[in-house]
Amino acid sequence: MDLVNAKAFLDNTTSLVLTEEANSLESQKTWIDAYVKLDDDDKAIRCFKKLGERCIPAELDSGELPSQMKALKHFVCRVYNPKGPTTLPLLRWELFRSKNLDGEMLPPIRATLLPHILRANYITIRDKSYQTNCSDLPTIETNG
């Protein structure tokens, strides 16, 4: 099931991937390659497994992602720069400084990443609910 959850996350975040050309197929390949390279015991894998289990807080906690989703932030950093910083602000600065990239080509800030995580979580909740006759889904307005 973690592969299904990861696919929901990947599908909802491919627009964030740094690519030289805005090619969605290349973007998706970048995300999939990063996922396949994860070790089986990687914290991001555990986060993917938890997607769809319950609602995630829709607000940053003191400027940080919800604690159960922090490993996804590190995963996003690895997609943009496998050998670079593992925090979004440092990675954004490093890419801006070294490659002189515009803001839209930089990794997302935490506040921008959170709605993508919320949407992936919502879609996973929805997909898991197909087994239930009258599923009780959270409102889509508060889920990315």
Q: What is the pTM of this model?
A: 0.72
Q: What is d(CA 55, CA 3) in angstroms, rounded to the nearest whole number?
A: 19
End-to-end CA distance of the chain: 22
The residues spanned by each domain of the chain are: 2-142
On whether the CB atoms of residues 73 and 85 are closer than 8 A, the answer is no
- What pLDDT does 20 receive? 39
pLDDT in tens, 98-136: 888 777 788 888 888 888 888 888 888 887 777 766 667
